[in-house]
Structure 1
Amino acid sequence: MPRQRVSLITLGVRDLDRARAFYAAWGWEAVQTLPSVVFYRMDGMALGLFGRDDLAADQGQPGAALGTGAITLAQNFADRDGVDAAWALALAAGATPLKEPQAVFWGGYSGYFADPDGHVWELAHNPYWPLDQDGRLHIPDPEA
């Protein structure tokens, strides 16, 4: 049985140069750039930006109209100030605000924005899910 993990998240983008410029302005550093895809190293996994037409062809669906789907990418922070700083940087880079960071019903603090291709990101502080010194999320065992 496969382990519960994701190794690579690939986002289909309309304009690879524009998407790469947004993520660079948001502070992300590409580790590999190919003609139709850009890769970013994350802690134990990677994020790829792939031109939509090339991604559709790679999936065996040449000419398919790929959308963004019903998915949210999330980045957690150790405190509210981290959320606010990342929010300001994303907006300065060209993100579209969806919901400004605010206290939420589950006891945390979060906000949502969309990147230039409409991929939705949540920036959050969850006081019940601690981050380690490297920023890795740890979901406590409810039985403990």
Structure 2
Amino acid sequence: MTPQRVTLITLGVQDLDRAKAFYAALGWRPAEETPSIVFYQMHGQVIGLFGREDLAKDQGRPDANLGTGAMTLAQNFDTQAEVDAAFDQAVAAGATILKRPEMVFWGGYSGYYADPDGHVWELAMNPFWSLAADGSLTLPRAE
């Protein structure tokens, strides 16, 4: 049986230096890097930025158009003010605004931006989920 977990998320990027500069402007610091990939340590996971051509070759699909796919990465925060501050920081770093943070139908507060390669990030405050002191999220148990 395969464990239910994700340990590494790799984002294909057009220009690795531009992508590194964007995430550096968000305050992210690489944990490890090579000329073609950079890794950021998260809470129990790692996010990698990998040049798209090199990633396609690594996947055995050197002629593939990888695109960004239909997926959203998300960061949750404790307050609306924290969401707004993180959103403003991303925009100042060069993110494209998709939807400014606002109250949403499910009772929370969220907004979306795209990084320079089009990877979509949601920044949210969910009043139904509590974050640990280190920012990690464990879903509440269904009763």
Q: TM-score range by the shorter chain?
A: over 0.9
Report whether the alignment pairs 1:3 with 2:3: yes
Spell out, residue by residue over 1:74-109, the C-alpha distance to the aligned partner (whole angstroms, 9 max, x if none): 000011111011001000000000000000010000
Q: TM-score, normalised by structure 2?
A: 0.98
Report whether the alignment pairs 1:54 with 2:54: yes
Spell out, residue by residue over 1:28-64, the C-alpha distance to the aligned partner (whole angstroms, 9 max, x if none): 1111110110000001010000000000000001121
CA RMSD of aligned residues (A): 0.7
Matched residue of 1:30: which SS? Answer: coil
Matches within 5 A, 1:13-28: 13-28=13-28
Whichever residue aligns with residue 59 of structure 1, its letter is Q
Deviation at 1:138, TM superposition (A): 2.1
Deviation at 1:141, TM superposition (A): 1.4
Hey, what's the Cα distance between the residues in 1 that align with 2:135 and 2:34?
Answer: 29
Hey, what's the Cα distance between the residues in 1 that align with 2:2 and 2:82?
Answer: 34
Equivalent residue, structure 2, for 1:77: 77
- Residue segments in structure 1 that go unaligned for 5+ positions in a row: none
Hey, what's the Cα distance between the residues in 2 that align with 1:80 and 1:128?
Answer: 14
Matched residue of 2:56: which SS? Answer: helix
Work out the number of aligned pairs and report it: 143
Matched residue of 1:67: which SS? Answer: coil
Whichever residue aligns with residue 3 of structure 1, its letter is P
Matches within 5 A, 1:1-144: 1-143=1-143
What is the percent sequence identity of the aligned residues?
Answer: 66
Hey, what's the Cα distance between the residues in 2 that align with 1:134 and 1:6?
Answer: 18
